[in-house]
Copies of this chain bind each other. A is one copy, B any other.
Amino acid sequence: MSFEAAVHAQAIELDKLAMEMTAEAGSGHPSTALSLGHIVTVLMFHSMRWSPDYPAYPTSDRLVLSEGHAVPIVYAAACRLGVVVGKDPDKRRKLTPADSHKLRAWDSELDGHPNPIEGFPFFDAATGSLGQGLSVAAGLGAAAKLDGIDKRIYCVIGDGESREGQITEALDFIADQKLTNVLAIFNCNEYGQADRVSPQQQVEHLIPKLKAAGFEVKEIDGHAPAQIKAAFDAFAEGSARFDGKPTAIVARTVKGWGAPTMQGGGWHGKPATGDALKKCLSELDEKRVQLTSSLASGDAFEIQPPAQAAPREQSAGELPPMSQAMKQMDMESLLHTGKLATRRAYGIALRALGEVNDRVVVLDCDVSNSTHADMFAKAPDLAERFLECKIGEQNMVSVAAGLSAAGKVPFCSTFAKFFTRAYDQIEMAINSGANFKLVGSHAGITLAADGPSQMALPDVSWFRAWTTMRDHKGNPGCYILQPSDAYSAYALTGAMAEYEGPCYMRTLRADTEFLYNDGQVFNLGGFETLQEGRDVVLCACGYMVHEANKALDLLDKAGIAATLLDMYSIPFDADKLLDIINANNGYVISLEDNYGGGLGSAIADALTESGDAFTLRQMHVRRIPKSARTPEELLQMCGLTAADIVKNVLSLLQVA
């Protein structure tokens, strides 16, 4: 039979299966699925170079379904093709038609939206929160380009979804990086959830927008097999060149194609059941008869396998001691000043890491001279592994998720405050099981002069939520790291690279005095005792460790022997902490340069679980700060100076 007829036959099979799956699940988005039947058929049965037996094979072409709610159409194809699934890599199996009955069931790999960590390795990243997929695809494309792998990344984006600003950030990034191996496919079915898509997202506006973004744009009928194939072939032809314009396809499609019953508005996210389902299925059957001679579908297809993956040697050597690295970088003189900003130490560590670890890539959002990621960017042998994302934080984080899926270890840096606008992307990357590192600079109030619009203040509270649960490997969803000096910032950067999982490190604008040396070991989950006392425990992190240090002498003069802990990690060893607090009569003060819900609450959680009597005084920022010219003025404004610490200790111990 003709390719045309075969695609129609297969697409309609998938459409029907998607209808049945969502009906049985009692929820899902069949009408969206039907708008993609033909495109997904041409991709998965013909154009993509991949193997259903090894869906995550390194050289396979990839499909990123940005409009994740359309996933039943991909699951339908996967069930037909017997794609290999399974949460446990050692116990993987081929999907069977029976699996199509388990969509969204709690013991099924066919999750409500693409969710690789639940056992569907065909996908690289969790999607479903809209607007993120094209950035993930860009990350996969950038990794393939770096590794010299001829791999094509197909990304399907909804028209309504294209309203999300992140999509334009991704388009600009793809154009900047000349990622001709990424194909942006816009599924223009004209309907969002509540209503039609805005004219701003309709084909007539979308095409000029994409052209203005520097893309080669092909408009096609998304249900015309020959047009789909031709567009994919044209993209494939130039995909490995990495010059000229990247390609976008604008596909006119019909939401509920082939089943007039569920076309038009009102059917978004609603499965047809009972008679309505029967009606839709028969409408699809009629459509099939109309479009093709009936025959066992799929016969006409032969999926091209991916190229044999070349064995890759990847170095992952030891990070040298900081002082040694600084000597090599002719920065030794800085060591003698006795102080260094933790953000600077991060830059030094990044560069040293880059030399010993091929997998490390660095991303930044136009502030690399503030975060000091520019130390990596400026090293000639590392420069190609530095990806400048310009001022688009959402895109940066999702690109990192894509890079991680391709085996890279991405470090993302910007001001800690500006990561806030990528929290949704960070959550989706964690849900994807991505291995990525976020390093936010200028954290907390000691940034001072720039004012609150540049200060990260509720950030620790948000990331801490991730320390209260466990990911699929049984690890904390994220580690929060708050180094107080350059040696710890340097060492923790190395520790992050060695650890396979998400980390968030806060660095400081101001120089801080050295508290440690090359010999000191820092572990994710650890803390360090800087002074052992008996009367009260000061639990401080980051800049506040230095303020607490000042307080120690004042307290000593007042006859109080305080214990000082550098709580550089959340989570931390709670049992060890409780022993120390018990040895200090149960009195503890937490010190942080951000709003509450962070370190103090983490300690409170540990104390209240034990059931013993403890008294915790939390010292943190309790007002919206404003600009002042020095960190000291900010600490005063927020009641966090050494003198304030002493005052709190005295009232806590009721000696004043």
Which residues of A are at the interface with B, using a C-beta cutoff of 8 A?
25-28, 68, 104-106, 108, 111-113, 115, 117-118, 126-131, 160-161, 163-169, 172, 175-176, 192-195, 197-201, 205, 208-209, 211-214, 364, 366-370, 374, 388, 390-392, 394-395, 417-418, 420-425, 427-428, 430-431, 449-454, 457-458, 460-462, 464-472, 477, 594-598, 600-601, 603-605, 607-618, 620-624, 626-629, 633-634, 637
Contacts and interface: CB of A to CB of B under 8 A. Distances in A.
Given A26-B629, A214-B205, A369-B194, A391 B624 contact: no
A113 B453 contact: yes
B128 A453 contact: yes
6 contacts: A431-B624, A468-B620, A596-B605, A603-B608, A604-B608, A607-B608
Contacts of A613: 611-613
Contacts of A108: 627
- Max chain B C-beta neighbours (<10 A), residue from A115, A126, A168: A168
Nearest to A210: B212
Nearest to A87: B626
Given A160-B391, A420-B423, A111 B451 contact: yes
Given A104-B627, A163-B392, 5 more contacts: A112-B450, A126-B453, A128-B453, A130-B391, A165-B169
A470 B161 contact: no
Given A105-B629, A126-B452, A629-B106, A469 B623 contact: yes
B390 A201 contact: yes
A632 to B, nearest CB: 10
Nearest to A114: B453
Contacts of A111: 451, 626-627
B452 A597 contact: no
Contacts of A129: 417-418, 420-421, 453-454
A104 B628 contact: yes
Per assembly, the copies of the chain total 2
Given A106-B633, A165-B168, A605-B618, A194 B366 contact: yes
Contact of A627 (B106, B165, B208, B609): B106
B194 A627 contact: no
A126 B367 CA distance: 21
A615 B28 CA distance: 43
A462 B609 contact: no
6 nearest CB pairs, A to B = A165-B165, A468-B596, A128-B453, A106-B628, A458-B465, A112-B451
A623 B106 CA distance: 14
Contacts of A467: 596
Contact of A26 (B417, B449, B457, B600): B449
Which of A366, A391, A418 has the most C-beta atoms of chain B within 10 angstroms of its own C-beta?
Answer: A391
Contact of A623 (B213, B470, B634, B637): B470
A499 to B, nearest CB: 18
A422 to B, nearest CB: 8
A598 to B, nearest CB: 8
Contacts of A418: 129, 424
Given A461-B462, A468-B620, A608-B616, A451 B113 contact: yes
A271 to B, nearest CB: 11
Contacts of A390: 160, 163, 192, 197-198, 200-201
Contacts of A417: 129, 424
Nearest to A208: B212
A68 B211 CA distance: 31
A466 B596 CA distance: 8
B629 A449 contact: no
A118 B214 CA distance: 43
A25 B448 CA distance: 12
A626 B106 contact: yes
Contacts of A608: 603-604, 607-608, 614-616
A318 to B, nearest CB: 30
A609 B605 contact: no
Contact of A172 (B163, B452, B461, B633): B163
Contacts of A105: 627-629
Contacts of A454: 112-113, 128-129
Contact of A472 (B466, B596, B624): B624
A164 B391 CA distance: 6
